[in-house]
Amino acid sequence: MSADHPDDKPKDPTQTTRPARPTLIAAEDERARKTRDIRESPPAPEADRWSPVAPVAPGPIRGTVGYEQGVLDPALVARTEVDPPAADPRAVAPTLDSGPELEGLTQPGFGAHHCPVCGAFAQHLVKCTECGHVFEDPRLGSIVSGRYRVDSLIGAGGFGRVYRGTHLTLGEPVAIKFLLEEFSNRPEQRARFKREAVALAKMRHPSIVAVHDYGEHLGELYMVMELVRGTQLFDCIRDDKGALMPVERVCALVDQLLGVLEVAHALGIVHRDLKPENVMLLQTEDRRDHIKVLDFGLALMNDRLGGDRLTATRAIQGTPIYMSPEQCRGRDVGPPTDIYATGVMLFELLSGAPPFEGDSVPDIMAKHMYVEPPTFAEKGIATVPPGVEAALLSALAKSADERPTAREFRDKLALALRGDDDASKLANQTQARVENAALTREQRALVEASAEHAARPRDSIAPPVDGAMPRVYLWWSDTAKAESLRGALAVHGVNGVVWKHETGPSEAVLGKRPGKVFIVAGDVSLERVKALRADALTSKLPILVLDATAATPEYIRAGASDVAAPGATHETVCKQIVRLIRRGR
């Protein structure tokens, strides 16, 4: 029977099977006395006792849900009894040293209680927001199993409370997680709590939160973990100005997450509840991104690890926004389930929103099962490389068999960032065809010949010397950049002349100091290419364009011989200049 069922009768705290502490008995009696009228209210109509999963409060549905006897179609959920909705996972992260702004927050759901003085729902774990009554926490200051002191409350989740503690012998800070009291006598919840501890203990990875101890104290299950200092990945999706993280940084974070999944899946462990709220971005001295994956409370383990498959085949558990199609249907889940959730997270990090959202859980689940995810073009996002999008879409395949493994997903992202994947190559070929479509046959031949020549390997970049270094003119309004390139050219045996005038060199100048190549750059580079081609003195000289401000076809039509890639290094530009000197126009 659900904890929120109106037919539930108040439990007598003196009848509990676990040892009761005197400080808790008084609190239980007081709470029972103050809330008796609430709990003995008339039962709700039968129609109100059964309902599909619904959000706790208006807004995006991000909490974890769990209920048995899930149906294949969300439209048929009308008679599904639902466990009480879990707390908003953004409010509390296990082992999170969250600071005062997050400490003590809770949401309606498991572990929720009412103020013993005024009866209002306790929206804060420390004091009542209605009457100001300060709640007593008998755990604070207590010693657990003679080894750990409980110092302060970090927060509470759907099944437990997390405290900051101290190892008495070592003096090191730790995180101590207790199973909530109302679940201490429920075998399934006790087994789930133990399962999380076993899963964490079996895995050894720098990006997995470490568990140091597990046991039972005064009838309460607890586990001791490393205290993680950082920020939930959900809070890092956008910065203070609303900007998303760069693609390269996002892929690096996801690569770390996939590394964790490689280890977990190799051990037969499936997380089952991956989401940005369960990934911590750590605060480190080296200023590099490091993550920690938290909350293996819903993890599935195979029998060889000693774990039991506590959830039935038709059980539905997870966070709807990140649940795979097979998870929504209540079918057996496996490593592909985690890959799907990782794909949803990657989509959210790159676009700022998950691929599927809705006003209700059945609506979201139906989209996961039947609707194809939107493309980044449909979202108006043009910064994601095509290879990254292709890898992401493979992770979001409706069929679990079509999704990559964690290792394959990592390899796909690495290839995409280098531009070596099939999708990126195809996109580049398509772009080249579009750019060349407007050129004449002679102009296309010039572009193709230039590209072929640029790709031809050279044993030496130094041009042949015939008694004097070949001269090139640097017609560049940015004198500093021109002088910098001039120095690089000198190393390669080329004499660079910085030309600072508004018009090209006169016949007298070129007669005394003839040039082999003209380099033009800046805002008026297109006009200067046209001017050089219109002048009989320079009409046959090669022209290289740097810092292009127009499209490549426009420069080719104007008469440019080659256009350097944006951001090209001096080494690359010098090689292009040497090739132009060797072959002429």
Would you name the residues annotated as active-site residues? Answer: 273
- Tell me the β-bridge partners of 473: 497, 518
What single letter denotes the amino acid at residue 67?
A: Y
261: Cβ contacts below 8 Å, ≥ 6 apart: 271, 335, 338, 339, 342, 406
Please name every residue paired with 121 in a beta bridge, in sequence order, or none if there are none. 114
Integer distance in angstroms from the first to the last C-alpha of the chain?
A: 85
Helices (H), 419-464: 422-436, 441-455
Coil, helix or strand at residue 96: strand
CA distance 165 to 226: 10
- CA–CA dist 245, 253 (Å, integer): 11
Question: Nearest CA to 199 among 286, 97, 272, 96?
Answer: 272
What is the rounded CA–CA span in Å between residue 55 and residue 59? Answer: 8
Contact call for residues 38 and 114 (beta carbons, < 8 A): yes
Pair type for strands 562-563 and 543-546: parallel
- How crowded is residue 476: how many other Cβ atoms within 10 Å of its Cβ? 23
* Contact by Cβ (8 Å): 157, 174: no
For residues 371 and 360, give the distance between their C-alpha atoms in angstroms, rounded to a whole number: 16
Radius of gyration of the chain (CA): 33
CA distance 355 to 322: 9
Q: How far apart are CA 338 and CA 329, in angstroms?
A: 15
Give the 3-state secondary structure of residue 282.
Answer: strand
- Rounded to 10°, the helix 570-583/441-455 angle is 120
Give the SS3 label for residue 480: helix
Cβ–Cβ < 8 Å for 282, 229:
yes
What is the CB-side half-sphere exposure of residue 222 using CA atoms within 13 A? 27
